[in-house]
């Protein structure tokens, strides 16, 4: 049986590797809630299955379902994908899954962060969230991996690391009073350093415009390798995203990472702005316990929200002219990875994208 550890990862010399390092697999949760996913969640289930089947070509995928969706998931998923039934509240494995850590011998531990559905009763995205808060512990228990229960609220989508002591995050999210209202910035930094074994936190001011996650960094920036990042970018000064990306660029150009390197920033233009239509929002039922979906809302589209699998980039695309430019820039940044573009508008409608629905296991 796995243990609940009472020590700190930093003292135990465990750290979080960059996502670009080798994984032993990937975890996902199957979507079903009809107050977030239109048309009885069927279009979302189809695209989640496509993401899972694609990742599974590169590393083994495990899919969590409820008892209710096990049969449909079994039909849609490649038979080599393992399906486990754990009750859940929504389908954002990046945010509810464990963060896997390793030490220099390759031993693995996991962090189980406190989860409050991205803001609890103060702007959170759904209610209740108690099943989702249990998922990380359930996964670690299933895998027999020892677990740290962190004493503060954090979602996996709000952090990126380079595996060499640097963490990237946003003030917009981590300092939002709906996450840890009793902690100062310095206290949050101290906890991040203790739990992820870091030397330097780089605080971007904002994430993507109108992102309901309160600016998760995984929609704004990702680490290509230590010292190099891709940054969501627009050159359109009239786009509200412009000031956000410019503020991030200015900060990144003026700082160094934990190893003292200047950071190379590769600009990755955002998709042409997308707005929800009547068809996107009208077929959502039972809206009391989750964020309302309103027509004409600017979606938080970004090409940065991809998953780095072993040897492949699983990239959201939107059937827009901007897709090809993103593929070209990402191919150049990851010359040894195959780019696997997936039409992912349906995941975007639910409030995130491919990175948000996946969690790598070491
Ligand atoms: O990591 C994410 N992007 C989660 C988004 C949750 C959206 C819930 N509607």
List, for residues 254-270, the tens digit of each pLDDT value.
999 999 999 999 999 99
Neighbours of 11 (CB within 10 A): 9
Q: What is the pLDDT of residue 288?
A: 75
> What's the residue count for the chain?
362
**Residue 14: CB partners within 8 Å, gap ≥ 6?**
101, 102, 103, 107, 109, 197
Residue 42 token pair: 């069927």
Overall average pLDDT of the 83-99 stretch: 98
- Residue 106 to residue 17: CA distance in whole angstroms: 11
In Å, what is the CA distance from 25 to each residue of 50, 59, 127, 313, 362?
16, 5, 29, 14, 7
pLDDT in tens, 129-153: 999 999 999 999 999 999 999 999 9
pLDDT at residue 2 greater than cutoff 90: yes
Active-site annotation holds for 222: no
Pocket around ligand 1 at a 6 A CB cut-off: 36, 90, 92, 94-95, 118, 125, 157, 212-213, 216, 291, 350-352, 356
pLDDT in tens, 282-309: 899 877 799 999 999 999 999 999 999 9
Catalytic residue of the set 26, 173, 222, 356: 356
Cα(17) to ligand 1 centroid in Å equals: 23
Give which of 224, 242, 246, 252 is closest to 329, Cα–Cα: 224
- Residue 290 to residue 117: CA distance in whole angstroms: 10
Q: Ligand 1, atom 6: nearest CA belongs to which residue?
A: 351
Give all strands (DSSP E) within the chain, no chain letters: 4-5, 25-29, 61-65, 82-85, 99-102, 108-114, 147-153, 160-161, 166-170, 200-204, 221-225, 228-233, 264-269, 307-309, 312-317, 338-343, 359-361
Query: Percentage of the chain with pLDDT > 70?
Result: 100
Cis peptide before 128 (omega within 30 of 0): yes
Q: What is the DSSP letter of 342?
A: E
| 8 A C-beta contact, residue 127 and residue 290 | yes
- Residue 354 to residue 359: CA distance in whole angstroms: 10
Cα(298) to ligand 1 centroid in Å equals: 15
- Residue 191 to residue 54: CA distance in whole angstroms: 35
Give which of 99, 116, 117 is closest to 108, Cα–Cα: 99
Q: Ligand 1, atom 3: nearest CA belongs to which residue?
A: 352
**Residue 328: CB partners within 8 Å, gap ≥ 6?**
none
pLDDT at residue 318 greater than cutoff 80: yes
Cα(70) to ligand 1 centroid in Å equals: 22
Q: What is the pLDDT of residue 198?
A: 98
pLDDT at residue 362 greater than cutoff 80: yes
Task: Among 28, 31, 125, name the best residue to mutate to test ligand 1's pocket (greatest count of ligand atoms within 8 A of Cβ).
Answer: 125
pLDDT in tens, 199-251: 999 999 999 999 999 999 999 999 999 999 999 999 999 999 999 999 999 99
């Amino acid at each position: 049986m796995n243990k609940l550890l009472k020590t700190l990862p930093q003292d135990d010399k465990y750290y979080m590797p960059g996502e670009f390092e080798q994984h032993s697999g990937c975890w996902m949760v199957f979507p079903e809630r009809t107050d977030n996913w239109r048309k009885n969640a069927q279009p979302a289930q189809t695209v989640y299955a496509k993401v899972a089947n694609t990742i599974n070509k590169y590393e083994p995928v495990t899919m969590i379902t409820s008892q209710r969706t096990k049969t449909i998931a079994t039909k849609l998923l490649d038979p080599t994908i393992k399906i486990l039934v754990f009750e859940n509240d929504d389908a954002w494995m990046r945010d509810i899954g464990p963060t896997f850590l390793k030490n220099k011998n390759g031993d693995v531990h996991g962090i189980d962060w406190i989860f409050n559905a991205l803001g609890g009763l103060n702007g959170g995205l759904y209610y209740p969230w108690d099943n989702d808060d249990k998922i990380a512990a359930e996964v670690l228990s299933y895998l027999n991996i020892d677990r740290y229960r962190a004493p503060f609220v954090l979602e996996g989508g709000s952090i990126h690391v380079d595996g060499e002591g640097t963490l990237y995050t946003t003030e917009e999210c981590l300092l939002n009073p709906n996450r840890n209202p009793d902690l100062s910035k310095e206290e949050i930094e101290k906890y991040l350093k203790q739990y992820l074994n870091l030397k330097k936190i780089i605080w971007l001011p904002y994430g993507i415009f109108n992102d309901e996650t309160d600016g998760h960094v995984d929609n704004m920036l990702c680490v290509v390798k230590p010292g190099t990042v891709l940054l969501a970018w627009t050159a359109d000064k009239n786009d509200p995203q412009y000031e956000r990306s410019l503020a991030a660029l200015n900060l990144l150009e003026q700082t160094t990472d934990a190893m003292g390197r200047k950071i190379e920033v590769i600009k990755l233009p955002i998709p042409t702005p997308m707005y929800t239509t009547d068809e996107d929002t009208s077929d959502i039922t039972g809206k009391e316990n989750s964020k309302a979906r309103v027509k004409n809302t600017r979606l938080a589209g970004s090409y940065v929200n991809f998953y780095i699998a072993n040897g492949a980039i699983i990239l959201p695309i939107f059937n827009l002219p901007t897709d090809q430019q993103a593929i070209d820039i990402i191919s150049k940044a990851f010359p040894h990875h195959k780019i696997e573009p997936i039409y992912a508008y349906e995941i975007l409608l639910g409030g995130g994208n491919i990175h948000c629905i996946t969690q790598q296991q070491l």
